Amino acid sequence: MKRVAVFCGANRGREPAFAAAAQDLGATLARRGLGLVYGGGGVGLMGILADAVLAANGETIGVLPRALARKELAHPRVTDLRIVESMHARKALMAELADAFIAMPGGFGTLDESFEALTWFQLGIHRKPFGILNINGFFDHLLSFLRRGVHDELLQPEHLEDIVVDTDPGSLLHRLHHHQPRQVAKWISPAPNP
């Protein structure tokens, strides 16, 4: 594992623990020699995360759609800023550059990026581990929703079990580094005969 893609908010959120976790995760990534791949912004949790990596002399690769870069949301000091044409291209490039994924608190964009990475894993497009940094129970309801999907046989239990959940950045990175995702078919039951 050389680089980790982190999906997180362009806002700080109301909980001071979110910013503290972003700071801690960034410093921990750099301390462990792991590069950060992220959305390229200099605002919110994204900016705090990137600043922490940079302060510890770590590698930061920002991937930002051109339209957002024009709004001056780009972090001015990232190691490598890649400007792409669309959100779709952003997600594809982040996935290509990263060896693992982490979701932190965030909004629609964070959820979109996270679920696309999870869907690609489910379909066998990649076998990269996915983790959730569950600060102050932010993802508790989402995890409950996913467990409901398993209960209703819409998700394979193994796919849910392959999501590594932790409340501590160092522990999460350690577990992701040693996690071996399973290869399980997406489909729970065969399609009915025509």
Q: What is the pLDDT of residues 83-131, one digit of tens each?
A: 999 999 999 999 999 999 999 999 999 999 999 999 999 888 999 999 9
Predicted confidence at residue 188, as pLDDT, reads: 64
Q: Residues 164-173: pLDDT tens digits?
A: 999 999 999 9
Looking up tokens 């990269």 gives 128
Look at residue 193 and tell me if it is in a domain: no
The domain containing residue 17 runs over which residues?
A: 3-178
Predicted confidence at residue 62, as pLDDT, reads: 97
Q: Residues 137-155: pLDDT tens digits?
A: 999 999 999 999 999 999 9
Look at residue 75 and tell me if it is in a domain: yes
* Beta-sheet strands, E only, within 35-187: 35-38, 60-65, 80-84, 100-103, 130-133, 163-166
Look up residue 184 and give its amino acid. V
Instruction: Please state the rounded mean pLDDT for residues 56-79.
Output: 90
Number of neighbouring beta carbons within 10 Å of residue 66 = 11
Looking up tokens 């792409």 gives 84
What is the rounded average pLDDT for all residues in the chain? 93
Instruction: Please state the rounded mean pLDDT for residues 35-41.
Output: 96
* In the predicted structure, residue 39 carries a pLDDT above the cut 80: yes
Q: Which residues of 92-102 are buried (b: 16+ CB within 10 A; e: fewer)?
A: ebbbebbbbbb
Q: Where residue 69 falls among pLDDT bands split at 50, 70, 90?
A: confident
Look at residue 110 and tell me if it is in a domain: yes
Predicted confidence at residue 73, as pLDDT, reads: 86
Domain count, the chain: 1
Predicted confidence at residue 186, as pLDDT, reads: 65
The CATH number of the domain holding residue 20 is 3.40.50.450
Look at residue 44 and tell me if it is in a domain: yes
What secondary structure, in 3-state letters, does the chain show? CCEEEEECCCCCCCCHHHHHHHHHHHHHHHHCCCEEEECCECCHHHHHHHHHHHHCCCCEEEEEEHHHHHCCCECCCCCEEEEECCHHHHHHHHHHHCCEEEECCCCHHHHHHHHHHHHHHHCCCCCCCEEEECHHHCCHHHHHHHHHHHHCCCCCHHHHHCEEEECCHHHHHHHHHHCCCCCCCCCCCCCCCC
Look at residue 174 and tell me if it is in a domain: yes
Look at residue 52 and tell me if it is in a domain: yes
Predicted confidence at residue 194, as pLDDT, reads: 55
Q: Where residue 187 falls among pLDDT bands split at 50, 70, 90?
A: low
Look at residue 194 and tell me if it is in a domain: no
pTM, full prediction: 0.93
Percent of the chain topping pLDDT 70: 94
Look at residue 188 and tell me if it is in a domain: no
